[in-house]
Amino acid sequence: MISRRELGKLLAGAGAAAALPAPASAVDCAVHPPPSPVRPARLAPGDTVGIVSPASLTFEGSWVDIAREQLEAIGFRVVLGDHARAKHGYFAGTDAERAADIHAMFADPEVRGIFALRGGWGTPRLLPLLDYDLIRAHPKVLIGYSDLTALLNAVHQRTGLVTFHGPNAGTNLRPYTLEHLRRALLSGEPLGTLANPTKEEEEELVARTYRTLTLRGGRARGRLVGGNLTLVAALMGTPWEIDTRGAILLLEDVEEELYRVDRMLTQLAQGDKLRPLAGVVFGYCTDCPIGEGPSFSLEELLHEHLGGLGVPALSGLAFGHIQKMLTLPVGLEATLDADAGTLHFDQAAVT
């Protein structure tokens, strides 16, 4: 699937998108305690799930077909949002159309879960348009990653609904990814301890591909928040700014030069988003080039920004823009063990 930056290059000459909607008169989430978590009902084979496109368009209709076929192969019945194949500039329909698809899926009593088709960009434009009362009244599984970070965290902070940072419908559901998707969404058992793929699964003498790095050791407990670093930074100063107080912050990114990663982590620090944390987990910065001239390594940047916070900090957990990914419940309490490289959950993510 085409990447966010590749899409930008292809559409560099496209006309300007419609003007952004005026900000809603919403209370800043960051100054109020987070609501009590509301776990959605678990999914089961035979359930109907919906596919929506809150962000970028898809160029090839086959991408939509593959996404639908994957979910059907798990055993779900699948309905597509009315605008899943739509095009408005570089978005999958206008802001109003994309928001309407989300509303329709939450309002439909037959739909038990909602998958994002893909990421890209554009999801933050929908946040002022969403009916959070409707979502609160019809809690159900909502899952995606990358640009969907904005939607996952805004919905949780406004409604209490536990959302899921995990594969989009169009993600290649390799066995490890599918196993953890089922574990999070289809099982009523406690999630337990989540860890990276083992070296045996990777056919490596020692762990190389999925290797964790302890930035600062120790254990911490807090609710999970965050996701994609670019989106977490982009929400700063908005009514949907992520509340990090007492939380375990998830961060990851893709195709960002390291000076940009440095700049965004600096923004979070200066915006007082890192100081109140209970712990922090950086996943992967996939295909993040060093750039020209003198540079830090990613490891050096993470040590500098996260290793000195005085809280447990871990890098390399299997989430983000990678081939094998965990499904992580945003808003649910977890225990981070930065020495072992794990997250532990005492309860199921669904009811």
Express each pLDDT in 125-156 by its tens digit.
Answer: 999 999 999 999 999 999 999 999 999 999 99
Per-residue pLDDT at 29? 45
Partnered with residue 114 across adjacent β-strands are 50, 142
| Catalytic site includes residue 252 | yes
Average pLDDT of the chain? Answer: 90
What is the CATH code for 192-345?
3.50.30.60
* For the chain, domain boundaries: 35-173, 192-345
The one catalytic residue in 315, 321, 333, 344 is: 321
Which candidate, 3, 105, 13, places its Cα nearest to that of 55? Answer: 3
**Contact assessment for residue 54 and residue 267, using Cβ atoms and an 8 Å cutoff:** no
pLDDT digits 0-9 by tens, 296-348? 999 999 999 999 999 999 999 999 999 999 999 999 999 999 999 999 999 99
Q: What is the CA radius of gyration of the chain?
A: 19
Per-residue pLDDT at 32? 60
The one catalytic residue in 83, 165, 252, 305 is: 252
Written as one letter, the residue type at 347 is: Q
| Catalytic site includes residue 321 | yes
> What does the block give as tokens for 53?
């496109």
What is the fold, at CATH topology level, of the domain defined by 35-173? Rossmann fold (3.40.50)
Per-residue pLDDT at 228? 98
Q: What is the dihedral of CA 315, 319, 325, 329, to 10 degrees?
A: 120
pLDDT digits 0-9 by tens, 199-222? 666 677 888 889 999 999 999 999
| Catalytic site includes residue 32 | no
Per-residue pLDDT at 62? 86
pTM (two decimals): 0.90
The one catalytic residue in 146, 165, 241, 315 is: 146
